Structure 1
Amino acid sequence: MKSITFLTAMTVAIAATGAEAKTRLLVNCFWPSSHFACSTVLPNWVEEVERVTEGRVTGIIPPKSVAPPPEQLAAIERGIADVAVMFNGFFGDAAVGPKVAMQPFVGSHDAEAMSKALWATNREYFADEIEQVHLLSQFVISPAELYSQTDTPINSLDDLAGRKMWVLPGPLAEITKKLGTGVVSGPAVQSNEIISRGVVDGHLGLDPQAVQAFQLMPYTKSTTKFSGAIYSTSFSVFANKDKWAEISPEDQEAIMSVSGEVLGAAFGRAWNEAAAMAEAAYADAGIEVVDVDPAFETALQEASAFVTEGWLKAAEAAGIDGQGALDFYKSQIGEMTN
């Protein structure tokens, strides 16, 4: 009788220990819950994490973001959430490296290839740059496009300079202002407020899926298709360091096997699919696709060179071989897209 009682107690203790060994991650997603990042990409990653750790690490995605987009890092550091995604521009000087993918005319129209290239570049040139959290992945979304809201497409520097444009804040706003363009700048989520009211007659900085998601197609007459990407935006996925430390080394390794390039590629692939669907709706929306005049593309490349020059200086100050990283990133994209 005593032995049975002892065995029963041991079984309960082992079961309790197993339950305590489980780690649940609160995975935040700042996009609307219906966005594919929140409804598909991150849930699929959570399932993969649970699979490769055999249920020892699980995850849950709250129905609403626990913090606004610029405060994802702060939310993770304070332990409000365990995993989050953030636009790399919000890191400021704390993350110069991943902005290699945000330089004008260095990317392609393939977000999956750019995402893989960015992670490879991260591992090679700035893997230890972000220290306050554990970096899980980095990725790049489909590139920004140039749109006209009048019957005349934008296909020269003069066309661009003669417009009043809504432009995404950051490098694109700097470039267009330098060209003499009238610029109204603000967060992408507020673009509809400006564009739908006719305050501007063109917009630059949104990718096709964003134009569709923010219901801007009715106000858009044409888009100028560049051979390369004018500008792309990169993001990081990261975890709270203390929470990450709770996970065994074996499970950490397993989680990284489905993160890194794998997770970045999943984000990029989802953006590719969403952009393709949006572009397929151009015809019905009356949006004309105009091939760029090569002279315009060359002139805009030259006019935007100062942005990359500034980044190279910032990379050097951060101890990063900026030119090496830039060349490597472009070569990786070339290998994947050729």
Structure 2
Amino acid sequence: MKKTFAALLMAAGVALTGLPASAQTTLRVANWLPPQHPLFAEIIVPWTKQVEEATQGRVVMQILDAPLGPPPAHFDFAVNGVADVTFGVHNYTPGRFEVTELAEMSFLCEKSAYLSPAWWRIHSQYLEKLDEHRGAKLLGVWTHGPGQLWTRGRDVTSLDKIKGAKIRIGGGFAQSVANALELVPIQAPVTKAYEILSGGVADGIQFPPESVTAFKIDEVLDQGLIVPGGLYTASMFLVMNQAKWDALPKEDQDAILSVSGEALAKMAGEVWDRADAAAIALIKQKGRITLHEPTPGELDAIKAAIKPYQEQVLAKITAKGVNGQEVYDALVAEIAKVKAGN
């Protein structure tokens, strides 16, 4: 009798533990970054844990061990179901995401913690309807901190002195900044930054401070132009395969949304700001790089050079059916609200 009762308990235990497992949904999360990079380690990984907690374990996030392909391919990995969840940088796929350049423009904000939540709000209100993320469920947009200009052997104290410098740049509005300042753009993967700078292939690079130390190029640079609000930022996304999203119970969809969107943008902004502050402190401590903040006259010259390119972005947005100037003004106003704690 005792053996029979024990057997029944064991059978019941197996059945009970099997029930939650059968109700679980596993989402495969793609990653293309080194495991220690802040974007992955301090934003994406914590978000996956928040999803599991918010869904009370009904959704399990499985981060894939190896990259599925190059960073620009990751949006399509989500669309095509190669992975269930992916993240990336909008300007890695030129021409696909155009209105996201709004959040990449110069002088917008000194902190990602202000810009990122404001960007999510404005994108949701004005730009999501343009459906540039079609084929996937958009879960978040945010930006890194202010991008600046860093050089090796090139004076950054005037536009004349940096004119013609060979600079490794990213895409998006950073390309427009390079054109405005009459720089010579060098296209190279970010992983090659140290190599092209140390070898003299490039005279400098456009980067937020965090990336300067993260990729150890502070060892081969000697000047940094620190412009209030930044010369540019980069807009980023987090998306899920649409079919996978549609198959989730509404309870789990709501739980995921509760830790995504503005909550995710706020967390991401704070991570970037901490990383940038730590990088600037390290740069100053080492003393190898001279940091130059433009004088009022120099800043006016930089703004005048960049202004036509900003107007082009607003015109491009207007051509898609949303008033570019109106949405830009709304973003600036929203940044001020976030700063004020609203």
TM-score by length of 2: 0.88
Residue in 2 that maps onto 1:75 = 77
- The answer to whether the 8 A contact 1:164-1:181 is kept is yes
Deviation at 1:244, TM superposition (A): 0.8
Residue in 2 that maps onto 1:273 = 274
- The answer to whether the 8 A contact 1:153-1:223 is kept is no
Moved more, 272-281 or 286-295: 286-295
Percentage of matched positions with identical amino acids: 27
2:235 equivalent to 1:231: no
Residue in 1 that maps onto 2:245 = 244
Deviation at 1:143, TM superposition (A): 1.6
User: 1:86-140 CA distances to partner (integer Å, 9 max, x unpaired)?
Assistant: 11124544433322101222x2221111110110101210223222100000010
Deviation at 1:22, TM superposition (A): 1.2
- The answer to whether the 8 A contact 2:99-2:127 is kept is yes
* Superposition pairs of residues 16-31 of structure 1, within 5 angstroms: 18-31=20-33
Q: Distance in 1 between matches of 2:114 and 2:181?
A: 31
Moved more, 64-73 or 300-309: 300-309
- The answer to whether the 8 A contact 2:141-2:265 is kept is yes
Residue in 2 that maps onto 1:148 = 151
Q: Distance in 2 between matches of 1:227 and 1:286?
A: 22
Distance 1:10 1:108, change over 3 A: same
Residue in 2 that maps onto 1:324 = 326
Match 1:312 to one of 308, 311, 314: 314
Deviation at 1:10, TM superposition (A): 10
User: 1:3-61 CA distances to partner (integer Å, 9 max, x unpaired)?
Assistant: x9xxx999988875643321111112221112122223222111111111111111021
Distance 1:132 1:241, change over 3 A: same
**Partner-residue secondary structure (3-state), 1:304:** helix
Q: Distance in 2 between matches of 1:165 and 1:121?
A: 31
Deviation at 1:64, TM superposition (A): 2.4
Residue in 2 that maps onto 1:195 = 197
- The answer to whether the 8 A contact 1:53-1:251 is kept is yes
Q: Distance in 1 between matches of 2:231 and 2:310?
A: 12
* Superposition pairs of residues 155-174 of structure 1, within 5 angstroms: 155-174=157-176
Q: How many residues align?
A: 332
User: 1:286-313 CA distances to partner (integer Å, 9 max, x unpaired)?
Assistant: 2122221222222111211222222222
Letter in 2 for 1:131: R
Q: Distance in 2 between matches of 1:303 and 1:263?
A: 34
Q: Distance in 1 between matches of 2:100 and 2:166?
A: 30
Moved more, 48-57 or 91-100: 91-100
Q: Distance in 2 between matches of 1:212 and 1:119?
A: 28
- The answer to whether the 8 A contact 1:29-1:37 is kept is no
Deviation at 1:65, TM superposition (A): 2.0
Q: Distance in 2 between matches of 1:276 and 1:256?
A: 29
User: 1:182-221 CA distances to partner (integer Å, 9 max, x unpaired)?
Assistant: 3323332222221111233333x21111111221112111
Residue in 2 that maps onto 1:221 = 222
Distance 1:22 1:142, change over 3 A: same
- The answer to whether the 8 A contact 1:125-1:321 is kept is no
Structure 1 alignment gaps of length 5 or more = none
Distance 1:167 1:127, change over 3 A: closer
Structure 2 alignment gaps of length 5 or more = none
Moved more, 171-180 or 259-268: 171-180
Letter in 2 for 1:115: S
**Partner-residue secondary structure (3-state), 1:236:** strand
Moved more, 206-215 or 19-28: 19-28
Q: Distance in 2 between matches of 1:257 and 1:68?
A: 30
- The answer to whether the 8 A contact 2:101-2:172 is kept is no
Moved more, 175-184 or 64-73: 175-184
Moved more, 251-260 or 308-317: 308-317
- The answer to whether the 8 A contact 1:153-1:224 is kept is no
**Partner-residue secondary structure (3-state), 2:47:** helix
Q: Distance in 2 between matches of 1:301 and 1:280?
A: 27
Moved more, 26-35 or 85-94: 85-94
2:135 equivalent to 1:132: yes
- The answer to whether the 8 A contact 2:165-2:203 is kept is yes
- Runs of 4+ in structure 1 over 4 Å off: 8-18, 91-94
Residue in 2 that maps onto 1:114 = 115
2:304 equivalent to 1:302: yes
User: 1:239-293 CA distances to partner (integer Å, 9 max, x unpaired)?
Assistant: 0011111211121011101000111221221111111111111121421222212
Q: RMSD in angstroms over aligned alpha carbons?
A: 2.6
Q: Distance in 2 between matches of 1:258 and 1:123?
A: 16
Distance 1:183 1:46, change over 3 A: closer
Distance 1:15 1:200, change over 3 A: closer
TM-score by length of 1: 0.89
**Partner-residue secondary structure (3-state), 1:227:** coil
Match 2:59 to one of 53, 57, 60: 57
- The answer to whether the 8 A contact 2:194-2:220 is kept is no
Deviation at 1:235, TM superposition (A): 0.4
